[in-house]
Structures are given as structure tokens and as C-alpha cells.
Amino acid sequence: PFPRLHFFITGFAPLTSRGCQQYRTVSVPELTQQMFDARNMMAACDPRHGRYLTVAAMFRGRMSMKEVDEQMLNVQNKNSAYFVEWIPNNVKIAVCDIPPRGLKMSGTFVGNSTSIQEIFKRISEQFSAMFRRKAFLHWYTGEGMDEMEFMEAESNMNDLVSEYQQYQDATVEDEVDDFEGDIEEEEEEEEY
């Protein structure tokens, strides 16, 4: 529903060294907990600083689908503040019986979280500092680019951050208010 917000955070569990794997058995609750842990994310942002719009979790190995469903529901209930409430059924789960090579079971996580804006803010700050000093700009203008293209790109980045922030702050009440406003507008149009 939000075509610009297509930047995902991926995670994997278990993340252990090869030497430790033989001494450690992993359970579905532990996999689930690790998948949502910021230390297991493959992006330099903390999902606790944002809210999940959608999540997909893929489990591999011999495990009970019932246990997976229970654990995922448990994570959602315990961390409900980190999931937007205005997108119903925003968590999808898949289970494949065949474990990955070298592991008994694993979990892969793909999440669309508003916390990704941390990365964009960092990039924007670094870009602004360099662009103010016109650092490396001559390499690009020498190849035919214009300074305005950089300013437009910066503006697009800031718009993206604002859009992520808008959906992070949105609540169900906002949606209801918008819906009621749309109905009132339609009724007024019908009267004329």
C-alpha cells in the first residue's frame, strides 16, 4: 500500500560461530526471540526505535507449526507497541521441513520497519556535511551531472524519512478520522 516504503530489514537466527554450534541446541522460542533481536539484524538500525509495518518469518527444519504460530503470536503480543495496529494480519509465517546445511533449524526474518529511517537520516547528515563543502562534487559535475540533481536527491531522501515518520506515528484513530472525513466529503458532493 506504500510504494515508497520498500526498504526491508533482514535478520537470521541462529547467529553463532561454527565452533559453538555443536554445543548449542536451538529451540523455536529461542529462534523466534533471536530473529527479532537487533543484534541479529543485517542493517545498522535498531527496530526498537521504530514500528513494524509488516513482517515475514521463514523457519527451516523439523518443528511444529503450532509451536511456531504460538511463538510468533507471543512475540506480537509482548511487543505490540512495535507493530502498527492499523494493518491487520501484518505478520506472515512460512515453515520448510528441510533444514539448511549444517543446522538443525533456522529462522530468516524480513521486516518492513520505520526504524530504517535511522539509516537514511545518517546518510542525509553525512551527505549534507560533504555537499556544503562541495566535497567530491567536481567529479560528478565533470561527468555531466548538475548540482540541482544532488539537491533533488537530498530532498527525496528527506521526504522518505518524513513519510516513514508519518506512518510510525499513525494510529487507528487517524485512519478512522480520515475515513469519516472522506465519507463527509462524498455526502457533500452528492448533495450538489
User: Would residue 179 count as lying in a domain?
Assistant: yes
Q: What is the pLDDT of residue 19?
A: 67
Domain count, the chain: 2
CATH of the domain at 47: 3.30.1330.20
User: Would residue 4 count as lying in a domain?
Assistant: no
User: Would residue 142 count as lying in a domain?
Assistant: yes
Q: What is the pLDDT of residue 192?
A: 56
Q: For 92, how many CA atoms within 13 A lie in the half-sphere containing its CB?
A: 8
Does residue 78 share a domain with residue 140? no
Q: What is the pLDDT of residue 15?
A: 84
CATH of the domain at 144: 1.10.287.600
User: Would residue 1 count as lying in a domain?
Assistant: no
User: Would residue 139 count as lying in a domain?
Assistant: yes
Does residue 139 share a domain with residue 112? no
The pTM (predicted TM-score) of the whole model is 0.82
Does residue 104 share a domain with residue 170? no
Give the range of the structural domain holding residue 51, as residue numbers without chain letter: 9-116
What is the residue-wise DSSP string for 2-57? -TT----EEEEE----HHHHTT----HHHHHHHHTSGGGBSSSS-GGGS-EEEEEE
Does residue 142 share a domain with residue 77? no
User: Would residue 53 count as lying in a domain?
Assistant: yes
The answer to whether residues 58 and 96 touch, using CB atoms and an 8 Å cutoff, is yes
Task: Please report, in tens digits, the pLDDT of each residue of the chain (192 residues total).
Answer: 789 999 999 999 998 766 666 666 789 999 999 999 999 999 999 999 999 999 999 999 999 999 999 999 999 999 999 999 999 999 999 999 999 988 889 999 999 999 999 999 999 999 999 999 999 999 999 999 999 999 999 999 999 999 999 999 998 777 545 545 555 565 566 555
User: Would residue 30 count as lying in a domain?
Assistant: yes
Q: What is the pLDDT of residue 191?
A: 57
155 burial class (0-12, 13-18, 19+ CB within 10 angstroms)?
exposed
Does residue 158 share a domain with residue 79? no
Q: What is the pLDDT of residue 103?
A: 86
Domain boundary among 93, 116, 139: 116
